[in-house]
Amino acid sequence: MITTVAISGYRSLRDVVLPLSALTVITGANGTGKSSVYRSLRLLADIADDRIIGSLAREGGFAGVRWAGPETISTGMRDGSTPIQGTVRRKPVALKLGFAEDDLSYAIELGLPVPLGTSLFNGDPEIKREVVWAGEKPTPARVIADRRGPRVQARGAAGGAVGGLQAIRTDMRPYDSLVRHLVGPNAPWEVAYLRERLGTWRFYDHFRTDDAAPARRSQVGTRTTALSPTGADLAAAVQTIREIGDGGALDTAVEQAFPGAHLEVGVDGGLFQLFMSQRGMLRPLAVSELSDGTLRFLLLAVALLTPRPAPLLVVNEPETSLHGDLIPALAALIARTSDDGQVIVVSHERTLVRSLRDAGASLIELYKDTGETIADASAFAAWTWPRR
């Protein structure tokens, strides 16, 4: 289980450390940084597939996502007695992301690139430092793999001193993460473990429910143990839950949300389509006929009841388009899912937040102070960044 997430220099997250539990709710008013926390987690997951640089580019580039305030915020700046202004920079410009599990930690630092002549990619950030370590702090004795610029050292590398760090690569490109590219007999097994774990994190964010939404169309169906982020394979995912998952839990969730309703999956010419039978209706309604809120609840229910739970599931504002009467059923589903894997919910819907807190979720509330996102739980999380 992930115990801590740390973010520094990303949008309004100047320096935030978040303690996590099996079920964590991140809440706060609009504009306090909830979406930035969600995006930060997605950026960490992108490392496993070598997509972090591209993801940052799509967000507006390195210059557009960096913390825009002063390097340090004085007491006078916070209380208004001193103008907010830049100071002489003491540290390099950096965007840092990190997390800790029960016995393993990882941190990555991205910084300004070294310009390469007339290259059109001089705006891309470079990976300046990556460290994998055991325990709480990245002390030399606990470091497992350490990347500084193009050079990577690893503990226990073949031919190296027993228990010591040995240089195993000196050609790491500035846009390639060691998590993705450090492979072979000299690579510590912990790096492969991180690559696999990050690659299995699962994210759901604002399912489309418009008339042209993928979930409303018939699709070729195969066994689907995890609903796609677009929801295009909804019918196949429902049938998979019925055959190898907990179909009873799905029926209960649908009944709790829509009394008297029942889901059916039809197949025509190899194409799967979802139908809902409802009390009082003479025929089942095709998924194309369902309301936006009904379809969104079904998508969330199927995503949460997957037969193959993710080690980390992150759901961003699941309450969107849902009527208040559906929130208790949604909260019950989320709490159930946290029994099989770690869940983070980003939401400002008060009923959902309260219901999840009552179900045992830990609560992190964000607020803004002088443009900076502050987490009310940061004081209770320990984290030490490796120095560049």
- The confidence band for 171, taking pLDDT boundaries of 50, 70 and 90, is very high
CATH of the domain at 240: 3.40.50.300
- The confidence band for 344, taking pLDDT boundaries of 50, 70 and 90, is very high
388 falls within a domain: no
- Domain span including residue 270: 202-363
pLDDT value at 80 more than 90: no
Task: List b or e across 342-354, with b for residues whose CB sees 16 or more CB atoms inside 10 angstroms.
Answer: bbbbbbbbeebbe
Same domain assignment for residues 122 and 159: yes
Beta pairing class for 126-133 and 13-19:
unpaired
Query: What is the mean pLDDT of the segment spanning 367-385?
Result: 84
Give the C-alpha separation, 269 to 23, whole Å.
42
150 falls within a domain: yes
- The confidence band for 376, taking pLDDT boundaries of 50, 70 and 90, is confident
Same domain assignment for residues 155 and 10: yes
What is the pTM assigned to this prediction?
0.92
185 falls within a domain: yes
Q: What is the pLDDT of residues 138-156, one digit of tens each?
A: 999 999 999 999 999 998 7
Same domain assignment for residues 117 and 217: no
Query: What is the mean pLDDT of the segment spanning 118-137?
Result: 90
Number of domains in the chain: 2
Query: What is the mean pLDDT of the segment spanning 4-16?
Result: 94
387 falls within a domain: no
- pLDDT at position 89 is 64
Same domain assignment for residues 138 and 50: yes
173 falls within a domain: yes
**What DSSP state is assigned to residue 66?**
B
Same domain assignment for residues 133 and 153: yes
Query: What is the mean pLDDT of the segment spanning 63-90?
Result: 73
Same domain assignment for residues 152 and 218: no
340 falls within a domain: yes
Strand, coil or helix: 62: helix
Same domain assignment for residues 217 and 309: yes
Q: What are the backbone dihedrals phi and psi of residue 100, each rounded to the nearest 5 degrees, phi first? A: -130, 135
Same domain assignment for residues 261 and 184: no
Residue 211's alpha-carbon distances to 16, 233, 242, 307, in angstroms, are 39, 16, 27, 28
- The confidence band for 88, taking pLDDT boundaries of 50, 70 and 90, is low
Same domain assignment for residues 206 and 179: no
Looking at per-residue pLDDT, the higher value among 376 and 367 belongs to 367
- pLDDT at position 160 is 45
Q: What is the pLDDT of residues 275-291, one digit of tens each?
A: 999 888 889 999 999 99
- pLDDT at position 15 is 92
Among the residues of 206-326, which ranges form H helices? Answer: 234-244, 247-257, 292-304
Same domain assignment for residues 45 and 170: yes
Same domain assignment for residues 374 and 257: no
Q: What is the pLDDT of residues 183-197, one digit of tens each?
A: 988 899 999 999 999
14 falls within a domain: yes
Same domain assignment for residues 268 and 181: no
Among the residues of the chain, which ranges form H helices? Answer: 34-46, 52-58, 62-65, 75-79, 178-181, 189-200, 234-244, 247-257, 292-304, 327-337, 350-358
pLDDT value at 229 more than 60: yes
385 falls within a domain: no
Residue 142's alpha-carbon distances to 123, 138, 170, 180, in angstroms, are 34, 6, 22, 21
